[in-house]
Chain A
Amino acid sequence: MLWAVATVTFFAVRLIPGDPAEAILGGPGSQTSPEALAAVRAEYGLDQPVLVQYLQQLGRLATGDLGRSYALNMDVGPLVLSQLGGTLLLAVLSLGVAWLIALLLATWSTGRGRMAARIGTGLEIVGAALPHFWLATTLIVVFSVWWGVLPPISTADARGLVLPVATLAIPLAGFLGQVMRESLNTALESPFVLSARARGESDRGVLWRHALRHAALPAISLSGWAFGSLISGAVVVETIFARPGLGRTLLNAVTVRDVPVVVGVVMVVAVAYILMTIVTDLASSLADPRPTEHGNGALS
């Protein structure tokens, strides 16, 4: 899995127009002498054939060495790790908030008549369809420019996190809510819920003891994917809110064709993604202890 990520990234970065040696020496447009370029190419091994460069990079990655940034002239490892915390915090908070919104919306709007269900579904569809950049801009205009209650750029304190988290959480809550509502409705109509009611279980008991667990299952499986989409959403959100993090680091690195940083960020994100998938698989098998047909928690 990691090898595939490294390979795809390595060749994808090559598709960006421009010469990495130029990037190292100050970016495209800077006046550099051919001698300087040649020296840099030799230093970074850029004069080697592509295949050799590829194997060298794989070798370095295998030993945990992410290389040195062309543009920032520092080791990629510490650079990426210093940015990782902010992005992880953003992603995990957004995932949590999205779950909360989705659960509240789904439980509020089921079993409360057709109107409530329609409102719930409508909110979910609209939420899921909102693009991050539009939502971020709108939130800034409303909360920072008009009302002035929250800062437009991300600050170190908790207040600075509210708008970025909301931007990421609202569309995701729409997705999760749609999935939860469907499985919640299925669960509420199933015979075991009728059995539970026949034992004297209340609506709330049915929800907490039976239906919610069934409703959560598909949303848990979806959370692994959702985490990935949150990280990619972080690129947009971190840029708009001027928030330090992996997303912005990645964007800057791509702009100046800083291959080691790009590869480094992508590798770290891939590792985080795999860890998150393991976590969701564990959560799934905790919530649903039934053995699956193809064995438990199989990981790609």
Chain B
Amino acid sequence: MYELKTLLPQFDITLPTCMYELRNVSLSAGATPGPAAHQIQCSGAAEVESNNTKTGICALDLDILGRQIQHLLKNQDTTAVLERQEKVLKQLEELKAQLGQIRASLGVRVCGKTVQHTTAYHNGGLKEVPLHDVVVNGHPNFIPYALLALKNAWRDLYTIDVKTFTHSTMADIGPAAREFEANLAKVSVNPALPKINVTLIWKNCEHTEMISSPTMYVPIYGEVNIIRYLGRVGPTEYRYENSPLCNEIDAVLDICYQLLRCTTHKSQVAMVRLLDKRLQQQQYFGGDQMSVADIGVYSSLIRMPAITDKDLTPALLAWRKRAKLITKI
């Protein structure tokens, strides 16, 4: 056992009268906020140490607690110390629970840590902070079915919590959008899973657009790009940026983007042919695993009522059946 030496010489500091004392901000209000002990004895320090290893508590708090323990020790009041310790332990438990909650809400960051790091590396060290609260503006004539498809596909992995609103520029949203809303509401929410909050606003706007934070990021336009974003913040199984299929998936999503912009039936069918070429005899686009590319294609095809089963190849039809089992639209 040894005694720590104070860094400051033991002066009696006389405070000027123009200053006032700050209130003790520690959670354990009611404890005697006595003057800071100049000497830190080892026992107190050891206790702090042991606490410190249990959880990562804020240093400032411990400092104050340590001082309070010192103060009580000096008074030779062991029962009080015991009580205090009990209280401290209880507070630590509470803190642990709080941290647990935070961890749960940011689940992705914890479980997908490695992925995050590598993307950051690929981006040249840029720090990426996924946003868990986004707004999607969509026109009832161009329903973003991908949200529902992803919600269903990620049922057991990740929660997309969608709240729907109607903007004052839309007098009526129509039956299709209402049905879509009802279907969204049907998917059960598992509170244990990490989640993203999506506010879907039916609005008289030209493009489907996504706004994450007006002060930090520009809006993202197009349903396909929203899928890309969600694919980035969603479960690890659907992150594609580091997979060897990255280029393939991007190419498929780009075709979807073009498909949604086609106005004539002929050009739409041409795009479907391109998709068929990409799919060939695979189970899903880019391999035998469902990916965001499948979500993109599936939701785009729903938005194109002009494309009937006749326009689809047998391979695409078979794929559509497989995808339907997962997307459930």
Task: State whether these chains interact.
Answer: no
Residues of A within 8 A of B (CB): none
Residues of B within 8 A of A (CB): none
